Homo-oligomer: A and B are copies of this chain.
Amino acid sequence: MSTPPEPAAPAAARETLPPPTAAGDARGRRSRRLDPEERRAQVVATACAIAREDGLAGITMRTVAARAGVAPALVSHYVPSMDELVAEAFARVVSEELDDVTALLRGATADQALERLVGTLMDGTRDDVTLVWVESWALGRRNEALAARVRDRMDAWKAVVLGVIDDGVRAGDLEVRDPDAAAWQVLGMIDGLNAQSLVRWGSTTERSGLVLRALRGMLTRETPRP
């Protein structure tokens, strides 16, 4: 929706294209002139790469410029504000994760979907994205552009989980009284436990199994007894 010209970030824009020819050593080395759209895509892609490695807090005019081999002023030139760039990087990183997971869930039964969902989200291979999420909750209070993106992506995630739950209920695999609330619960659990793992807990192997068990208990029969 936000990238009509280039739907899926092309490989070229994924990582910064480092000028291999070391011909221009340090000195007034000017980077090759690029088409405005190309350059802007590169700036955003670089911001995303930094977000994955150092978190959203690592995105500054100068870090992006340095990594892209460009003058700091150029970054500022292609972006309305750094807050916007941070917001956009957040949306990209999170959206890619969501796309990955969505593809992973396609064609699975509700139970399989739950297993794959928890398995891929809690195996520790996505700690970089977890950090981005946690930072977004904190930074969102001072960056309204970011806050808006966060709300949007949270809704998108909830929709995916809700889809899994609805499918499960329809197929009779799950029994949920309030699917909407249950979807938020699932995400809250996963997010909360992942966030904690940023500072504590190295044993990621055990976690997913426990969470999966809890989720199954939660989604197969609610309000057992008052």
- Interchain CB contact (< 8 A) of A151 among B131, B138, B191, B200: B200
Contact with B along A194-210 (1 / 0, CB 8 A): 01101111000010001
Is A220 an interface position by the 8 A CB rule?
Answer: yes
Is A193 an interface position by the 8 A CB rule?
Answer: yes
Is A15 an interface position by the 8 A CB rule?
Answer: no
Contact A213 B223 (CB under 8 A): yes
Q: How many residues of A contact B (CB 8 A)?
A: 46
Contact B131 A134 (CB under 8 A): no
- Interchain CB contact (< 8 A) of A220 among B141, B187, B199, B224: B224
This chain: copies in complex: 2
C-alpha spacing A149/B216, complex, angstroms: 34
Is A188 an interface position by the 8 A CB rule?
Answer: yes
Contact B196 A191 (CB under 8 A): yes
C-alpha spacing A9/B184, complex, angstroms: 38
Contact B199 A151 (CB under 8 A): yes
Is A108 an interface position by the 8 A CB rule?
Answer: no
